[in-house]
A and B are shown apart, each in its own frame.
Chain A
Amino acid sequence: MTGFFNRLKEGLTRTRQNLVDKVEALVTGRTKIDDELYDELEEALISADVGAETSIELVERLRRKVKEQKISDPSLLQGLLQEEIAAILGGEAIPVNLGNQPTVILIVGVNGVGKTTTIAKLAHRWKQEGRKVLLAAGDTFRAAAIDQLEIWGQRVGVEVIRHQEGADPSAVAFDAVQAAKSRESDVLIIDTAGRLHNKSHLMNELSKINRVLDRAMPGAPHETLLVLDATTGQNALSQARIFGEAVGLTGLVLTKLDGTAKGGVILAIHSELQTPVKFIGIGEKMDDLRDFDPGEFAKALFGKEE
């Protein structure tokens, strides 16, 4: 377990520590709450990709709260703002429901966000928990995408259902459900090709996979997770909206939080679409996956850049 904690620290402490520094720098040396302090908080949020509109709104709310509660100590603002943010994000992390046999999980997202790697991480986690996991190589488009998933399957020690490159991804999905049923798998995770959400034919292809899954097993997919790269700016909102319209999302996975990007845009996504973040990615290895913790995330948003 020490390795686990060390890596957790590596991944998250940097952001957390920076946050503490920055907010402390903001509040120390101040004896009163003034516009400048509010501006700085607003800027910290904008720099974390929260988005100008959402940031301004959040700081407005903070102002009201300060007034209502007659707060005069500048050092309290940090905590208040974080509470506000954590509240927007839903307070508690919502786990994936693995109650079906098999539970079918569809992974979608734009190109290069970390879908395939996330699948490896999820497979590893659930296998460690003693579940029987099956993967489906539904990215039949990108060069060597199938090989990539197969290598991960070998590393994690789970099987992969695959067709040829260029095959119909819904056919792969269909076969994978049949295989999952006959092998009595607990979880089936389906990879899909990265696609930009403004390409309607590619979004239609996803809807088709969805329909085929439902035919193969009524109610499937039980979870559809959109993978978002924390480095992405305001476009993530557009991604969440349009993928949501096409396939209906049950949750988000926010990857690459081991970098310096904060992924603040999920705040806007959460308030507009109520799609919860379920997991975060903090590295390229299969154990670099964590449950999403709104409180921690809210704190990390204010992390200072190095």
Chain B
Amino acid sequence: MAMFEGLAEKLQNTLKKLRGKGKVTEADVAEAMREVRMALLAADVNLKVVKDFVARVKERAIGQDVLESLTPGQQVVKVVHDELIQLMGGTTSKLNMSSKPPTVVMLVGLQGAGKTTTVAKLGLYLRKQGRRPLLVACDVYRPAAVKQLQVLGNQLDLPVFSMGTGVSPVDIARGATEYAVAQGRDVILLDTAGRLHINEELMDELKSIKSTVKPHEIMLVVDAMTGQDAVNVADSFHKQLGLDGVVLTKLDGDARGGAALSVKAVTGCPIKFAGMGEKPDALEPFHPDRLASRILGMGDVLSLIEKAQSTFDAKMAKEMEQKLRKSDFNFEDFLFQVQQMQKMGPLDQLVGMLPGMGKMKALKDVQFDEKEIKHVEAIILSMTPEERQNPQILKDSRKRRIAKGSGTSVQQVNNLIKTYEQTRKMFKQFADMRGKGPGKGPGGKGKGMFKLPFMK
């Protein structure tokens, strides 16, 4: 699973041997840069972008006394991380708003990138900011694309402007502007059909929409799973239309998202939003720092930490780790974990932030929804302290009593015990993973591929 090993760990290994060697040679640096290159390529950053990037990092690594420090591996990662954030630019999730409404926003991109869903999400997002958006169905080509937008608009109670599929998208866009003025809608979101950047006829169509309704913001919608071709696509759309921003979709998947870097590098446009799921509220402002960690295979550690910060204290974390190592993780700990996880958001999403976790079998069945968590709490609270601490004593009669006390069934109690076992195993696996690798030791700082918040 070399692909999922964090760059940090790899560099650590490569550069470890340099320590105490006195002088770091060109060859050593080259070796470290090779690792950086491989990590970025595995994350789908475009080869040309990688080359420039590595050259810059190399310069910085040599320029400073990075490689002479005690932890050259971590230093290099830091330089790489910093440079990545730099390259992706600061945070901005603002759309160019016109002082004279309606503001026209046009979404463009390849087929299947997620434009229609993003239009709906943006509509919701803008309404929450007090705007009055109008969704416009300009995709007259893909079967049922108009219907798709109408259904979404209906669900969200947002107006959708459409003229069917017999009218040219240019006329629809024009009609929508007039309609918006008449209806007092202040933002128009144009959903255009997906198209290839090399399809001249369809690219010309976008140009005419542009010259007709003069959008204040043209956003390219890019699938986070896109590979090397992202530069060609972005470059071509940018040259032909002049982009203002980028939306990166499907970031709730396990792709590293290197395409973002490619797109930013060739267009210079800020990535403004990230699509994090199929639901209409799954649109977030884009965080360059998080994506940098993700590209480097360090997991979305920052997001995890941020989410966990308010709920965990260091001492508790230490205790939990001890328990895991000794494997005496009991129901009380389990309840605590479940409650923490609940505060941090859906486990699915949490786990998705960790690199390589899609493969972990144990996780597949560990899932909670809100109702279930209530049951979990009720069941565990119906156990005696002794039962909570020694789950193995839970025999049938006790289970029956617990089920009764918690208003659940014996089957639910059994299910919980099963889930608890799986969770225990899973945490054990995490702990083991962290324990592996060089430089471990009692109380040693974890530098494994990821940490759970309680494993500080």
Task: Please list the residues of chain A having a beta carbon within 8 angstroms of any beta carbon in chain B.
Answer: 43, 46-49, 51-53, 110-114, 141-145, 147-148, 150-152, 155, 196-201, 203-204, 229, 231-238, 241-242, 256, 258-262, 265, 284, 305-306
A235 touches B225 (CB 8 A): yes
New A-B contacts (11) at CB < 8 Å, excluding given A143-B151, A241-B359, A305-B232: A43-B47, A53-B38, A111-B112, A196-B252, A198-B252, A198-B348, A199-B252, A235-B256, A236-B225, A261-B229, A284-B111
Assembly CA distance A252 to B141 (angstroms): 26
Assembly CA distance A232 to B223 (angstroms): 8
Partner of A235, one of B149, B255, B357, B365: B255
B47 touches A232 (CB 8 A): no
B358 touches A197 (CB 8 A): yes
A233 touches B47 (CB 8 A): no
Contacts of B398 in A (CB 8 A): none
B112 touches A113 (CB 8 A): yes
B198 touches A152 (CB 8 A): no
Closest to B40 in A: A52
A111 touches B142 (CB 8 A): no
B111 touches A112 (CB 8 A): yes
Q: Given the known A-B contacts A48-B228, A231-B110, A231-B226, are A198 and B254 also in contact in the complex, defined by CB atoms under 8 Å?
A: yes
Q: Is B69 an interface residue (CB 8 A)?
A: no
Write the B358-374 contact mask toward A (1 if CB under 8 angstroms, else 0).
11000111010000000
B253 touches A197 (CB 8 A): yes
Contacts of A258 in B (CB 8 A): 196
Q: Is B205 an interface residue (CB 8 A)?
A: no
Q: Is B316 an interface residue (CB 8 A)?
A: no
Minimum distance in angstroms from A58 CB to a CB of chain B: 14
Assembly CA distance A110 to B110 (angstroms): 15
B44 touches A235 (CB 8 A): yes
Closest 10 CB pairs of A and B: A233-B227, A112-B112, A233-B44, A151-B143, A143-B151, A261-B229, A144-B148, A148-B144, A147-B144, A235-B255
Minimum distance in angstroms from A225 CB to a CB of chain B: 17
Write the B99-120 contact mask toward A (1 if CB under 8 angstroms, else 0).
0000000000011111000000
Q: Is B3 an interface residue (CB 8 A)?
A: yes
B111 touches A261 (CB 8 A): no
Can you name 24 A-B pairs with beta carbons within 8 Å? A46-B41, A49-B44, A52-B37, A53-B38, A112-B113, A143-B149, A143-B152, A144-B147, A144-B151, A145-B144, A147-B144, A148-B147, A200-B363, A201-B348, A229-B223, A233-B44, A233-B225, A233-B255, A234-B42, A234-B44, A235-B255, A256-B111, A256-B112, A259-B198
Contacts of B229 in A (CB 8 A): 49, 231, 259-262
Closest to B232 in A: A260
Partner of B38, one of A52, A143, A203: A52
Contacts of B364 in A (CB 8 A): 200, 203-204
Contacts of B348 in A (CB 8 A): 198-201
Q: Is B259 an interface residue (CB 8 A)?
A: yes
Q: Given the known A-B contacts A201-B348, A204-B364, A284-B111, are A111 and B250 also in contact in the complex, defined by CB atoms under 8 Å?
A: yes
Q: Given the known A-B contacts A144-B151, A259-B198, are A231 and B143 also in contact in the complex, defined by CB atoms under 8 Å?
A: no
Interface size on B, residues (CB 8 A): 57
Contacts of B250 in A (CB 8 A): 110-111, 196
Minimum distance in angstroms from B112 CB to a CB of chain A: 3
Assembly CA distance A12 to B46 (angstroms): 23
Closest to A239 in B: B225
B255 touches A148 (CB 8 A): no
Q: Which one of B2, B226, B227, B253 has the greatest number of beta carbons of chain A within 10 Å?
A: B227
Assembly CA distance A174 to B233 (angstroms): 41
Closest to B110 in A: A231
Contacts of A262 in B (CB 8 A): 229
Assembly CA distance A221 to B229 (angstroms): 34
Minimum distance in angstroms from A171 CB to a CB of chain B: 21
Q: Is B288 an interface residue (CB 8 A)?
A: no
Q: Which one of B198, B225, B226, B358 has the greatest number of beta carbons of chain A within 10 Å?
A: B225
Partner of B198, one of A142, A203, A229, A260: A260
Contacts of B151 in A (CB 8 A): 143-144
Q: Which one of A150, A152, A258, A261 has the greatest number of beta carbons of chain B within 10 Å?
A: A261
Q: Is B352 an interface residue (CB 8 A)?
A: yes
Assembly CA distance A196 to B149 (angstroms): 21
Q: Given the known A-B contacts A143-B151, A151-B143, A306-B198, are A231 and B41 also in contact in the complex, defined by CB atoms under 8 Å?
A: no
B227 touches A114 (CB 8 A): no
Q: Is B133 an interface residue (CB 8 A)?
A: no
Q: Which parts of B134-165 form the interface with A (CB within 8 Å)?
A: 141-145, 147-152, 155
Contacts of A306 in B (CB 8 A): 198
Closest to A109 in B: B112
A259 touches B114 (CB 8 A): no
Q: Is B306 an interface residue (CB 8 A)?
A: no
Q: Given the known A-B contacts A51-B42, A148-B143, A200-B364, are A233 and B114 also in contact in the complex, defined by CB atoms under 8 Å?
A: no
Q: Is B278 an interface residue (CB 8 A)?
A: yes
Closest to A56 in B: B38
A53 touches B2 (CB 8 A): yes
B359 touches A242 (CB 8 A): yes
Assembly CA distance A114 to B155 (angstroms): 25
Contacts of A142 in B (CB 8 A): 148, 278
Q: Given the known A-B contacts A47-B228, A258-B196, are A234 and B3 also in contact in the complex, defined by CB atoms under 8 Å?
A: yes
Q: Given the known A-B contacts A142-B148, A306-B198, are A238 and B254 also in contact in the complex, defined by CB atoms under 8 Å?
A: yes
A198 touches B352 (CB 8 A): yes
Q: Is B123 an interface residue (CB 8 A)?
A: no
Contacts of A147 in B (CB 8 A): 143-144, 147
Q: Is B73 an interface residue (CB 8 A)?
A: no
Contacts of A155 in B (CB 8 A): 143
Assembly CA distance A290 to B113 (angstroms): 23
